[in-house]
Amino acid sequence: MTPNPFLGVFFHWLGGLASGSFYVPYKGVKKWSWETYWLVGGFFSWIIMPWVLAFTMTEDLVGVLSRQGTKTLWWTYFFGAMWGFGGLTFGLTMRYLGMSLGMGVALGYCAAFGTLLPPIFKSFVPEVPVPETLAQIASTLPGQITLAGVAVCLLGIGIAALAGLTKEKEMPEAEKKKAIAEFSFSKGILVATFSGIMSAGFSFALTAGIPIAEASAKAGTSTLWTGLPKLVVVLLGGFTTNFIWCAILNIKNRTAYQYLATHVRPEHAGLQASGGEHGGGAAKGAGAYSQADLKVPMLRNYFFSALAGTTWYLQFFFYTMGETQMGEFGFASWTLHMASIIIFSTMWGWIFHEWKGSSKKAHALIGSGIAALIISTIIIGIGTYLKSQLSPGH
């Protein structure tokens, strides 16, 4: 199959659109707690879609997985579980910062730490399946350019964070809550930082799962889909982390009944009252709600949660397709993916008026921060390209 970079770019942008848009359907969920709709969506993201597509698009999925060594399966699953912490707190970032600021900061950290942590970790644990240590990367021109891109990325995060701080100081509390029901700059920055650090686990997991992809290719799977079987294992790890945490919250908040209940309890009736953010709406006395107020739109909630989860998974589906079409421009795949996610999530932030009422200074800062994040991915892409030119075969 002859590569088609233009088609590859199109697929990458579809993946970025999916990733940047996945949280939007959750805004249609009503009278469910965050942990309930996050776990329902997660079943589609981490279990249903990976298995369905891997079964239909690859050859001998069960046989390929069963022939893998314990070490390959364990490390792929383990790093997937570590990434699961990042995915879990990524959702919390959206709750506290909104889509434009939340995505920008979290993805900026993801790009930076996803680049830095694997080689740093290899310095201490040499057997980790990562090509080079940080010192080795820094000793070459491509590596230095890549690290410069990481520095610009961190600068962009700082500018975006300053925009969020400016917004928090300037906007009245009521105005902030209209767009983001649980807006909290301090909480958002903390969880975004943790999310970015833990999300580096996905890079480890994909590298550890390379033997799975190779085995799938030997089984007759088209090159276009060989990455799908290892995603089954990686995302199973992510599901484990998220399932445990959501179950704990279901027990703690007494919300486990919501998966099957047609009516919500009075103490939970204010959930999702302001367009999809957990905790929206003022609480009333137990006797202040009618049965109509307590009725849960079950079909609607499952539909929007499933749509969100499926949309989230599609980023990997399209990313895999795009990467196989880039040919000699494959170095740009991650750059295109990250940049498109940031752009589309920022678009949704403007559509949902998350910055309405903030000053020109705040608008200029968030615009500059997002621009710096996009530029950083381009610089990292250039470093990756130069590295590929120095590799054997060039």
Closest CA to 73 of 83, 84, 65, 85: 65
Indicate whether 72 pLDDT > 80. Answer: yes
Share of the chain above pLDDT 70, in %: 79
Indicate whether 330 pLDDT > 70. Answer: no
Between 230 and 116, whose confidence is greater?
230
Domain interval for residue 86: 5-390
- Where residue 220 falls (left for φ over 0; alpha for ψ -120 to 50; beta otherwise) is left
pLDDT tier at 237, thresholds 50, 70, 90? very high
Segment (H or E) for 299: helix 298-325
Number of domains in the chain: 1
Structure token pair of residue 267 = 């103490």
pLDDT tier at 142, thresholds 50, 70, 90? confident
Cα 158 to Cα 101: distance, rounded to the nearest angstrom: 11
pLDDT tier at 274, thresholds 50, 70, 90? very low
Over residues 252-263, mean pLDDT: 92
Helices (H), the chain: 5-21, 34-42, 49-57, 61-66, 70-97, 99-124, 134-138, 141-170, 173-179, 185-198, 201-208, 210-218, 228-252, 291-294, 298-325, 333-351, 360-390
Closest CA to 87 of 275, 249, 276, 234: 234
Residue-wise pLDDT for 380-391, tens only, equals 778 767 776 776
pLDDT tier at 280, thresholds 50, 70, 90? very low
CB 63, CB 219: distance < 8 Å: yes
CB 107, CB 338: distance < 8 Å: yes
Rg of the chain over Cα atoms, rounded to whole angstroms, equals: 21
Structure token pair of residue 392 = 């054997």
pLDDT tier at 104, thresholds 50, 70, 90? low
Indicate whether 35 pLDDT > 80. Answer: yes
Over residues 230-244, mean pLDDT: 94
- Among 74-78, 172-176, 219-223, 381-385, name the one with the lowest average pLDDT: 172-176
Residue-wise pLDDT for 154-199, tens only, equals 787 778 777 777 776 776 666 555 556 667 777 888 888 888 778 7
- Angle of helix 99-124 relative to helix 360-390, nearest 10 degrees, comes to 40
**Amino acid symbol at 335:** T
Indicate whether 257 pLDDT > 50. Answer: yes
Tell me how crowded residue 372 is: count the other CB atoms within 10 A of its CB.
20
Closest CA to 42 of 311, 263, 319: 311
- The pTM for the full model equals 0.72
Cα 384 to Cα 381: distance, rounded to the nearest angstrom: 5
CB 89, CB 191: distance < 8 Å: yes
pLDDT tier at 272, thresholds 50, 70, 90? very low
Q: What was the pLDDT predicted at 217? A: 92
**Amino acid symbol at 55:** F
Cα 200 to Cα 195: distance, rounded to the nearest angstrom: 9
- Let me know if 260 is exposed, middle or buried by CB neighbors in 10 A (0-12, 13-18, 19+): exposed
Place of tokens 């969100």: 308
